[in-house]
């Protein structure tokens, strides 16, 4: 495809570029008038009349404030109670039924901050939105807590239920805790389901998500799913169109502590397509001994390691080498996750 259209919109339109233009054009600059009143008074202005008018307006405003304050003082001589703490960034809106916020029925919408629980019953659903973070819908039967909501550090805890997230915050600044693992947003949209016993499933529909708990972590790209298991952390992610034999084998491998079941590993290696290289990459990081040797061979056949990534480094689970290999899959830069995981406590 020629870059002419990308350069100056001439030539044959590139369908990817036109799609992005239509989508992203909704965020385009909408010019309003410059607000010169935000300038300090010493800045040159259009003339003395403007300054005189502004002075007059300022004096009038001050006088009005004094009058209103005096009136309030006259009508209410009791001490003024301390101001309520400022509400948080999350606007919570009931979508269906009557969800509860901090144990109180929510009718319409309200703004909440850290520490609050949101709960939906079997017939209610709710939307959380914050302009600097994103939009999150909670389905029926969901219980969720706002853990932190500081600028650049937004964290929720999903105890049970379903969460659909469209996140536009800076990658790495939004995370959702579950009983099994923490999902770290890296610029994405996804669905997260968690059962009351802590089992769950993550499905990424745009961008990718870093999923981790302690030393176990998974990188889940767009179009992939990953299971969550209490006590075992994250499962092995795979594309949602992965062969059934591979998915079944992964379920047995993830459900077996210690060495991988031989038959399941055989099945996974046989069923994996070149597109499933990222799944074998995850298995390789967890495998040991002969299992790791076999995984290396199959992964190298499906997606050859780049220069500098040797068999020894890969089998030694050298982080830099494995991340370099990951970056050849075309699924995003693994260094991004490394950069943010420590900050998110993964």
Partner 1 sequence: MVDRVETAFGDDDQLVMAAQGGDRDAFGRLYERFGPMVHGVLLTRVPYGEVDDLVQDVFLSAFQRLSTLRAPGAFGGWLAAIARNRAVDYHRRPRVEQMADDIPAADARPQAEARAVLAVIQSLPAAYRETLVLRLVEGMTGQEIADRTGLTPASVRVNLHRGMKRLRDALQWQ
Span 88-127, contacts to partner 1 by CB under 8 A: 88-89, 91, 111, 113-114
CB of residue 227 to partner 1, shortest distance in Å: 21
Q: In angstroms, what is the minimal distance from the CB of 261 to partner 1?
A: 31
Helix, strand, coil proportions of the chain in percent (round to 5)?
35, 30, 35
Helix runs in the chain, H state only: 4-8, 15-24, 48-75, 244-254, 262-271, 277-286, 289-302, 311-315, 319-326, 334-344
94 vs 180 by CB, closer to partner 1: 94
Q: Determine, following the binding rule CB under 8 A, whether residue 331 of this chain makes contact with partner 1.
A: yes
Min dist. Cβ of residue 75 to partner 1 (A): 26
Binder among 28, 75, 107, 214 for partner 1 (CB under 8 A):
28
> Would you say how long the chain is, in residues?
346
- State in Å, rounded, how far the first CA of the chain is from the last one: 41
From residue 123 to residue 152, what is the string marking binding to partner 1 with x (rule CB under 8 A)? ------xxxxxxx-------------xxxx
CA gap 162, 142 in Å, rounded: 6
How far, in Å, CA of 193 to CA of 162, rounded? 4
Smaller CB separation from partner 1, 23 or 342: 23
Q: Quick one: which of 21, 195, 248, 293 contacts partner 1 (CB under 8 A)?
A: 21
| Cβ distance to partner 1 smaller for residue 34 or 307 | 34
Question: Does residue 82 bind partner 1 (CB under 8 A)?
Answer: no
Residue choice 100, 222, 251, 338 for contact with partner 1 (CB under 8 A): 222
Of 335, 285, 27, nearest to 172 by C-alpha is 335
Positions in 194-213 near partner 1 (CB under 8 A): 206-207
- C-alpha span between 257 and 267 (Å, rounded): 18
List the interface residues with partner 1, window 231-260 (CB under 8 A): none
Of the candidates 13, 102, 140, 166, which one interacts with partner 1 according to CB under 8 A? 166
| Rounded Cα–Cα distance for residues 214 and 158 (Å) | 18
């Amino acid at each position: 495809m020629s870059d002419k259209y990308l350069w100056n919109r001439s030539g044959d339109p590139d369908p990817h570029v036109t799609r992005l233009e239509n989508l992203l054009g909704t965020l385009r600059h909408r010019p309003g008038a410059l607000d010169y009143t935000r300038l300090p008074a010493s800045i040159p202005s259009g003339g003395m009349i403007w300054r005189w008018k502004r002075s007059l307006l300022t004096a009038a405003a001050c006088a009005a404030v004094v009058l209103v304050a005096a009136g309030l003082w006259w009508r209410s001589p009791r001490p003024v109670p301390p101001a309520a703490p400022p509400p948080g960034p999350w606007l919570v809106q009931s979508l269906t039924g009557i969800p509860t916020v901090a144990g109180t029925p929510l009718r319409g919408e309200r703004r909440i901050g850290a520490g609050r629980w949101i709960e939906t019953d079997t017939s209610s659903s709710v939307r959380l939105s914050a302009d600097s973070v994103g939009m999150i819908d909670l389905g029926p039967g969901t219980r969720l807590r706002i853990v932190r909501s500081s600028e650049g550090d937004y964290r929720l805890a999903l105890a049970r239920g379903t969460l659909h997230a469209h996140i536009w915050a800076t990658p790495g600044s939004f995370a959702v805790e579950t009983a099994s693992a923490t999902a770290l947003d890296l610029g994405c949209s996804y669905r997260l389901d968690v059962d009351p016993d802590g089992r769950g499933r993550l499905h990424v529909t745009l961008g990718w998500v870093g999923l981790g708990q302690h030393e176990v972590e998974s990188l889940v790209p767009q179009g992939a799913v990953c299971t969550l298991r209490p006590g075992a952390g994250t499962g092995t992610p795979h594309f949602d169109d992965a062969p059934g034999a591979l998915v079944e084998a992964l379920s047995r491998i993830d459900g077996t502590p210690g060495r991988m079941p031989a038959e399941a590993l055989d099945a996974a290696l046989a069923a994996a397509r070149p597109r499933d290289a990222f799944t074998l990459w995850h298995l390789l990081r967890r495998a040991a001994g002969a299992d790791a040797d076999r995984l290396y061979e199959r992964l190298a056949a499906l997606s050859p390691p780049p220069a500098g990534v040797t068999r020894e480094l890969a089998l030694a689970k050298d982080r830099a080498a494995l991340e370099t290999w990951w970056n050849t899959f075309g699924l995003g830069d693994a260094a991004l996750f490394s950069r943010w995981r420590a900050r998110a406590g993964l």
